Amino acid sequence: MNIVDLRSDTVTKPTPEMREAMANAEVGDDVYGEDPNVNLLQETAAEMMGKAAGLFVPSGTMGNLIAVMVHCQRGDEAIMGDKGHTFSFEAGGISALGGVFPHTLPNQADGTLKLDDILGAIRPDDVHHPISKLIILENTQNRCGGVVLSEEYTKVVSKIAHDHDLKLHIDGARIFNAAVALKTSAKEFVKASDSVTFCLSKGLSAPVGSVLCGSREFIDKARRIRKMLGGGMRQAGILAAAGLVALENMVDRLAEDHRRAGELAHGLAKLEGIHFEMGLPQTNMVFPSLGSDVKFKAAELAKKLASEGIKVSAVADRRLRLVTHAWIDDAAVEQTLETFKKVLA
């Protein structure tokens, strides 16, 4: 059976070009700063983000944690969305390891935090309160549907942060999806931020890794915290070599993933009982909801689909998530739609 895996873009495997680059990568000890591929990846990533420096980290989760730990001291507060990855999917690391207090605000349907909510969340200088130090935005916003936060909105939030002596971190795990969707460069979306993390291991198909970018001073501090967390890697150039191929070859093609996500959504919308109450995809994520006329709950439907070779995620009682990526071609979209039709019939 031909398996179509739409659970996440993290399931992508390294391309043949990546495997070749990895096999031939010249390496050194990166804790000594001597791995040429890691150094080149960090410079390339920083340049693409319009920042002074970059740091290769094992995961986006560690990148976000390091950013929070550089921007905040223990007991400080970080403002973030209640549907954000840092709040929901990073095992509480900022509190457990950083001693940082999360102040959550409701993510709106478009992925943003209301400006009034942010202003209301920033603490006045008073011994009763923790000290507000950081705002985190997520772009694209995963749980709101892979939606894109505009450059304009980011700039306004950045101004609020800086006017109050806070920093702005962007969890840009899929910032290149945002850039490709709006036909601009990733730089534009993160210009106004103090730091940004993006993933190499999702739509860009590299096997492992993320890059954290910011000022030189920020990255110097980040490097020490990465070491503290056990993220100082040695001949990591084997991985960085794949990351360089990802940045070179895999960014522009994200547009194909977005086209296929749109085709999946349009095809699914034609089926009885499937709705798009979260809206149609802006990037590579498709979130179909199951109406009350569908006899299965999401988890049951996901199981039935899996037994027919289509892997999807159940993200709520009556909602699925399908993510397109480099390993999903037109035939896979077709096969998915046919299988949904068959299982729902």
Ligand X SMILES: *Cc1c(COP(=O)(O)O)cnc(C)c1O
Q: Based on CB atoms, which residue is closest to ligand X, 167 or 169?
A: 169
Q: Helices marked H in 25-170 — which ranges?
A: 36-49, 60-71, 85-88, 93-96, 115-121, 151-163
Closer to ligand X by CB, 201 or 284: give it. Answer: 201
Rounded to whole angstroms, the Cα distance separating 224 from 222 reads: 5
Q: Are 118 and 157 in contact (CB under 8 A)?
A: yes
Angstrom distance (rounded) from CA 344 to CA 119 = 47
Tell me how far, at minimum, the Cβ of 236 lies from ligand X, in Å.
Answer: 15
**If we measure between CA atoms, which residue out of 293, 296, 285, 290 comes closest to residue 322?**
285
The span from the CA of 184 to the CA of 171, in Å, is 18
Cβ proximity to ligand X: between 54 and 60 the closer is 60
State which residue, 69 or 337, has the beta carbon closest to ligand X: 69
Shortest Cβ 277–ligand X spacing (Å)? 21
DSSP secondary structure string for all residues of 232-244: --SSTHHHHHHHH
CB of 148 to ligand X, least distance (A): 13
CA gap 33, 35 in Å, rounded:
6
Is the CB of 206 or the CB of 294 nearer to ligand X? 206
Compute the least distance from the CB of residue 64 to ligand X, in Å: 6
Q: How far is the CB of 57 from ligand X (least distance, A)?
A: 9
Residues that bind ligand X (CB under 6 A): 59-61, 85, 138, 142, 171, 173, 199, 201, 210
C-alpha span between 333 and 257 (Å, rounded):
11
Q: Toward ligand X, which CB reaches closer, 68 or 274?
A: 68
Least distance from C-beta 275 to ligand X, angstroms?
A: 24
Please tell me the distance from the alpha carbon of residue 249 to that of residue 235, in angstroms, as a whole number.
Answer: 23
Phi, psi of 80 (to 5 degrees): -155, 165
